[in-house]
Amino acid sequence: AAPAPVHPTPVPTTVPVPPPAAGPDTPASRRPPRVDHALRERTARTVPGWVALLAVLLGAAALVLALARSGLLLHTGAFPDIRNPIARSAGVPVVTEREIGTAAVGGLAIMTALAGLLANAGGETRVLSRWGRYRGTVRRTGLVWVNPLLRRHRVDVRLRHWRSDPVHVTDRSGTPIVVRLLVVWRVKDTARAMLGVDEHETYLREQVHAVLTRTASTLPCDSNAAPGPALRDGQWFSDELTRALVAEAAPAGLEVYSVQPLALDYAPEVADSMRRRRLAELDAGLRTVLVDDAVEAAALAVRRLERATAQELDTAARSALMEHLLVAFVAPAGMSASLPAPAARPARKEGRPA
């Protein structure tokens, strides 16, 4: 018999599913600005300052030698006569091309050395650029020499703190509040801080306001009505502000250490009403606690009275006694206990004393 034909097994193909198109119902997640990896700080080429000072001394010596050989300096017997033969024979100053070249080289060396000298103090750096292109950063302190054709920008890299002005924002419930912050930061990447943004200090202030507005709108200022986290939780508020500001300031070469709220209060237009509401809530809570304690104390007194007299009171007598005890307990505190009216006593039975 002929063998059965073998059919190849079909290989399943996977069709890539395109991502859902962005529409009005698609939630958009905000991302911090991207970091420019091509722009980063690097060390600039420098020469120790003593080399430039030595060049100044050599240039000055070359100038003095040129003036002495040309006869422009008065010759005295204490020094040997080094004037050129023409000036010596004529007895008058004569400047030759050799003296002109020596003086030009000496003057150029002095000007170049002095123009490139840079005194860099501690906690400061110099960002070097030429025609708008970044050429490096000088972090070496003391006297150094750099290319005099480069433009220098001073950048402070010390640890700094900034106390913000009162910032008006709203919490999750829409209540206006006023917040003051203390931001501790420093410049980490001088190239990005100087060339990545227009003004890194202005950029930091604006980002602080934006981060504070976004963070304050996530929680209410106080959690009196409903239990839960609130902006009054200083540790959570500080950690959240620091985390958000670190991500926003990194592309500008800034390093943020901490953001601490110094003051958190309601805006002046709602401060009085919110204070009265807070006092009313505290008073209501205090009244509830006092009434609960008074009810427990009255119930305990009634039980002890029944145990002491070995008699069990009926419902009406127990309610009346509880009411009198509650009035006695609560009245000294300036409160009035609103209690339900005691239930009517049951009908007396025949032959049973009242």
pLDDT tens sequence across 266-276: 887 766 666 76
Question: Do residue 132 and residue 170 come from a single domain?
Answer: no
pLDDT value, residue 353: 43
pLDDT tens sequence across 123-170: 899 999 988 889 999 999 889 999 999 999 999 999 999 998 888 888
- The pLDDT-based confidence of 312 (bands split at 50, 70, 90) is confident
49 has a pLDDT exceeding 70: yes
177: enclosing H helix or E strand: strand 176-187
Q: Is 108 within the bounds of a domain?
A: yes
252 has a pLDDT exceeding 70: yes
70: enclosing H helix or E strand: helix 49-70
Question: Do residue 95 and residue 145 come from a single domain?
Answer: yes
Please report where in the chains the tokens 């007299």 appear, as a residue.
309
Question: Do residue 285 and residue 197 come from a single domain?
Answer: no
pLDDT value, residue 256: 94
pLDDT value, residue 17: 45
Q: Is 343 within the bounds of a domain?
A: no
Q: Is 11 within the bounds of a domain?
A: no
Question: Do residue 146 and residue 170 come from a single domain?
Answer: no
182: enclosing H helix or E strand: strand 176-187
Least confident range of 51-65, 94-108, 197-211, 338-352: 338-352
> What is the β-pairing status of strands 142-145 and 47-48?
antiparallel
What is the token pair recorded at 65?
């030698």
Q: Which of 156, 179, 213 corresponds to the end of one domain?
A: 156
Question: Do residue 293 and residue 203 come from a single domain?
Answer: no
What is the extent of the structural domain holding 228? 160-266
Question: Do residue 256 and residue 232 come from a single domain?
Answer: yes
36: enclosing H helix or E strand: none
Question: Do residue 68 and residue 132 come from a single domain?
Answer: yes
Which one is predicted more confidently, 107 or 13? 107
Please state, in angstroms and rounded to a whole number, the distance separating the CA atoms of residues 257 and 260.
Answer: 10
- The pLDDT-based confidence of 330 (bands split at 50, 70, 90) is low
Highest mean pLDDT among 9-18, 84-93, 206-215: 206-215
Residue 149 near residue 130, CB atoms below 8 Å: yes
Question: Do residue 167 and residue 142 come from a single domain?
Answer: no
pLDDT value, residue 331: 66
Please state, in angstroms and rounded to a whole number, the distance separating the CA atoms of residues 99 and 102.
Answer: 5
Question: Do residue 305 and residue 236 come from a single domain?
Answer: no
pLDDT tens sequence across 75-95: 665 666 667 666 666 666 667
Q: Is 15 within the bounds of a domain?
A: no
Question: Do residue 150 and residue 54 come from a single domain?
Answer: yes
> What is the arrangement of strands in the sheet containing 133-138, beginning at the earlier edge strand?
133-138, 124-130, 151-156
What is the token pair recorded at 79?
């020094």
Q: Is 271 within the bounds of a domain?
A: no
- The pLDDT-based confidence of 314 (bands split at 50, 70, 90) is confident
Buried b (16+ CB within 10 A) or exposed e, 36-73: eeeeebeebebeebeebeebbeebeebbebbbbbbbeb
Closest CA to 288 of 337, 218, 255, 227: 337
Least confident range of 54-68, 115-129, 327-341: 327-341
Three-state secondary-structure class, residue 346? coil
CB-based contacts of 101: which residues, under 8 Å, 6+ apart? none
DSSP for 210-223?
HHHHHHHTTS-S--
Amino acid at site 60: A
- Tally the C-alpha atoms within 13 A of residue 318's C-alpha that lie toward its C-beta: 14
pLDDT value, residue 281: 65
Q: Is 348 within the bounds of a domain?
A: no
CB-based contacts of 286: which residues, under 8 Å, 6+ apart? none
Q: Which of 156, 172, 200 corresponds to the end of one domain?
A: 156
pLDDT tens sequence across 171-195: 888 888 889 999 999 999 999 999 8
pLDDT value, residue 154: 92
Question: Do residue 169 and residue 150 come from a single domain?
Answer: no
- The pLDDT-based confidence of 21 (bands split at 50, 70, 90) is very low
Q: Is 340 within the bounds of a domain?
A: no
Residue 172 near residue 217, CB atoms below 8 Å: yes
